Structure 1
Amino acid sequence: MSTTSSAATSADPSRAIAPPEEGEEGGVLSGPYRALTLGIVSVVLLLAFEATAVNTAMPVAARQLDGLGLYAFAFSGYFTSTLFALVVSGQWCDRRGPMAPLFSGIAVFGAGLVVAGTAVNMWLFVAGRAIQGLGGGLVIVALYVVVGRAFPERLRPKVFAAFSAAWVLPSIVGPVVSGAVTQHLGWRWVFLAVPALIVLPLAVMGPALRRAEKRQPSGLGAEIDRRRTGLAAMAALGAGLLQYAGQRLDPWALVPAAAGAGLLFPAVVRLLPAGALRAARGLPTVILLRGVAAGAFFAAEAFIPLMMVTQRGLSPTMAGLTLTSGGLSWALGSWLQGRPGADRHREALIRLGFVLTAVAIAGAALVLVPGAPVWVAAVFWAVGGIGMGLAVASISVLMMKLSAPEDAGANSASLQMSDALGNVLLIGLAGVLFSALGGGSAAAAAGGGAVPAAAFAVIFLVMTGVALAGAVLAVRTKP
């Protein structure tokens, strides 16, 4: 349940939102809304299934493409291109409405799946994942704008709840289906089978979305903020250069590393609220913590299936199932933080969420200890899911609470930017550590348990520390 679990436009979303008549009767599955609801939830289902399926297929894909050294890049490359797409989609929606970015994003996402599924080497596979990230970033922002434009206010919470629920089924069946496909048909079909499934939701929601567009007043036409778009491009390019430098591990790597840092950090300072990088009290820390939570959790999660395959000899299916418990318990954590009275303890819930996440990351690493049962990772990952549900949802609630109405859209976009940045930087760091400790060596790529256990242990140790740092910083969420 990563970056596609929530999104917002990069400008004031009210420019792109003009709801239907509030007096209209019926629910989200009533006549006027049924096709649109089923269509957009189907898109979320496909995105969610692909996100869970990739975790299962990646250990096999990386080995067959002789690309274990770029294993983390295949994950962080997705989030790097998403950085840019989030900003572009928000402004595109503001200017033209959500139809064009939504349908374009779905097409781009499908093209990325084809590139990844037909890749003959790991760099082409990473390129396919980056194209997927562009499409996913366009789609998820556009979907949220669709909800604002096509549904009355009374129905929007139910649609957003359906978005969250759409992640539960893929969390359960995604690893099983992906593992079975990987083992019996090959990992490529995990990617190549999905584009054919995209046609159905497009056909279902296309006419309904066009009707909703016609009901909206003309004159959207918000000006494109070229400065913000340029900053997003700088951030994405800088992040990519830093990741490339981290994979080289030689003196020449200092050149792309310096260029990447020179592009990334000035852009991030301007894209995030003032004071976010130094954890200034209140809203800046709230937004910073979103990236800390996402980065620590997903950097560890990306390496769990590979660890289970190489260190414990599990099949791709069983390795992927290790993560299922986290997807289910995330929904439980989100539900718990929404119970009556929880708002009085919002900062404490964030702190507790980070502590549980740290416990989960450290606990999952216990499978590296000879004799430890393999199911211990699934148990601890369930604890981490609860922690992430508590922390991420509470951070979102607190962000809205601390935002003036006119700043809600921009701050929501900053929250998504922090999420993507946290994933890029911490998954990228995990990849550097993995390669530096021999995880990407030719011997490791050759098979079995040749990947040094230390390559995993250090990643989990570092991400545990990052999560604990988030717990310490949680006290600064209070203005």
Structure 2
Amino acid sequence: MATAATTRSAGDRLLAVGIVALEFAAAVSTFVASTLLPVVTEELDARDRLGLLVAGGTLGLFVALPLAGTALRRLGAGRTLALGTVVYAGGLVFAATAQQAWVFAAGQFTAGLAGGLLAVFGISAAIRRLDERLRLKVVAASSAMWILPAMAGPAATLALEHAVGWRWTLLVPVPVVLAGRLLVVRAVSGSAGSSSIADDERLRPAGLLVPVGAAAMVLADGVWLGAAAGAACAVAGTVALLPAGTARLRRGGPAALAAMTLFAAGYVGADSLITVLLTDGYGVTLAHAAIVLGAAPFAWGLTSLVVARVAPERQVPAAGLALTAAAVGLLAAGSGTPAFGTLGFETLGFGGALVAWAVAGAGVGLGYPGLYLRSTAATGTGTGTEAAELAAAVITAEAIGGLPGRAGGGALASIDGGLPAAYGAFAVVLGLAALAATRSRAAGPRRPAG
């Protein structure tokens, strides 16, 4: 019995290391993609196809998620892992050799498909095995994993781009991603597929609504009726995938999950286009844009660590998200475009943009930990695995919020003068996330009358 418990404990620690490694890999991938986006856009002459460039991989991920559990059952863990690994690397190579925007997007879509296939071994399944104490440590460590890449990632990416070109640089994250994935696979071994989001029956009927809607927004090409229909489809899929009560902002965990979804739509969308906003709207060099790029995640990670150490009991998700919304709105208003110039705003310049984006990250650092805790707080009315189920729901909420944010923001930014408007929309969505977060604290027990 003791041996089994010891083995399980060692496996959980390995699993925690793997999850944190995957977060580090996600940070590296994010900074590489965001830093290279202006270069790729210019190289492929794709300024009017930003939605394709930023949303392709996430679209592929969501298309694959409803199918991943079936693939695992039919192919087995070893073949699923091998197939996913080969297709993931192949998709990125396809993107790296692209000469046209749609080919680049197709390569990213293929890599995303493989990512969805590998998600059967991923965090959403694995995190259920961790007890609450270890799970919260993983959340704090995962936030810290963004600090070093934020400091060094953009500069290192630019150095590599100058040395070997953007195509080879795009492939740099592959070994890091696969190493983290293998750690998780080793930790969960034979039970990887039993509780994955990819094997969740809820995803089968509704799972494709989100990517179909996002694809419609990306491919609408200025046809607003088509874009609106795509947005409605994505919203319907989002509502169907999230737990009951989320769309109605039921007080407590459901409202927290709604806030998490809206946060992901606003922040992930803004983050995916920040370097383009800076190079186009602010006229700064790519090197300066790369410095700004790292400011928000650095501030996010640092603020989260400080809050966790100094005042872990102080949870201010609504205030933090409101601060992020205000900072993103300031970036939109300060881009120096004619539409906002008529309101009396002048361009913030490099220094102002750096401060605004850092403040946006600090707001997330203040708001995200508390929002996560409220999203995963068991009500005590369900089974003992309720908190772990909610932990998986948080990952779902972030993923399905981020896709429409990327797709819709990229589609809006693709039109002339649309980039500041996209950031204005991101600010509005983040403001709605802050409002939803005001209902994220569970109602206390009612006092008896008299």
Q: TM-score when scaled to structure 1?
A: 0.75
CA contact (8 A) 2:128 2:388 kept: no
2:358 matched to which residue of 1?
A: 382
Q: In 2, are the aligned partners of 1:20 and 1:152 still within 8 Å (CA)?
A: no
Give SS of 2:404's match: helix
Classify 1:321/1:94 alpha carbon distance in 2 versus 1 (closer, same or farther; 3 Å): farther
Q: Tell me by how many angstroms 1:370 deviates.
A: 5.6
Give the RMSD, CA atoms, in angstroms: 4.0
CA shift digits 1:303-345 (9 cap, x unpaired): 22112223444332321221212111111232344357644x5
Residue matched to 2:31 = 52
**Separation in 2 of the partners of 1:19 and 1:152?**
18
Alpha-carbon distance in structure 1 between the residues aligned to 2:2 and 2:131: 5
Distance 2:158 2:25 in 1: 17
Per-residue deviation at 1:243?
A: 2.7
Task: Name which of 103, 109, 114 aligns with 2:88.
Answer: 109
Partner of 1:362: 329
Q: Relative to structure 2, which stretch is displaced further, 319-328 or 87-96?
A: 87-96
Which runs of no fewer than 5 residues in structure 1 stay unpaired? 1-17, 439-453
Shift of 1:177: 1.5
Q: Which moved more, 1:405-414 or 1:163-172?
A: 405-414
Query: Which residue matches 2:426?
Result: 463
Cα 1:188–1:315 change in 2 (3 A) is: farther
CA-CA distance at 1:266 after TM superposition: 4.2
Is 1:351 aligned to residue 318 of structure 2? yes
1:170-209 pair list within 5 angstroms: 170-195=149-174, 205=183, 209=186
- Rounded Cα–Cα distance in structure 2 between residues aligned with 1:336 and 1:401: 22
Q: Is the 8 A contact 1:286 1:477 kept in 2?
A: yes
Instruction: Describe the shift of the 1:409–1:306 C-alpha distance in structure 2 as closer, same or farther (beyond 3 A).
Output: same
Alpha-carbon contact 1:101-1:138 (below 8 Å) kept: yes
Q: For residue 270 of structure 1, give the secondary structure of its aligned residue in structure 2.
A: helix
* Aligned residues of 1:108 and 1:131 also touching (Cα < 8 A): yes
Do the aligned partners of 1:296 and 1:464 also contact (CA within 8 Å) in 2? yes
Distance 1:153 1:414 in 2: 15
Question: 2:207 aligns to what SS in structure 1?
Answer: helix
* Cα distance change of structure 1 residues 429 and 159 upon mapping to structure 2, 3 Å threshold: closer
Q: Cα deviation per residue 1:139-194 (whole Å; 9 max; x = unaligned)?
A: 46624345666x89876665555444333222222101211223343221222344
Q: Does the C-alpha gap of structure 1 residues 136 and 322 become closer, same or farther in structure 2, counting only changes over 3 Å?
A: farther
Match of 1:320 among 290, 301, 305: 290
Distance (Å, rounded) in 1 between the aligned partners of 2:330 and 2:228: 33
Alpha-carbon offset, residue 279 of structure 1: 2.6
What CA distance in whole angstroms lies between the structure 2 residues aligned with 1:106 and 1:470?
A: 36
In 1, the alpha carbon distance for the partners of 2:103 and 2:20 equals 30
5+ residue gaps, structure 2: 337-344, 444-450
Q: How many residues get paired?
A: 428
- Partners of 1:100 and 1:341 in 2: CA distance: 46
The offset of 1:122, in angstroms, is 0.5
1:472 aligns with 2:442: no
Does the 8 Å contact 1:47/1:136 carry over to 2? no
Q: Distance in 2 between the 1:107 and 1:19 partners? A: 39
- TM-score, normalised by the number of residues in structure 2: 0.79
* Percent identical: 27
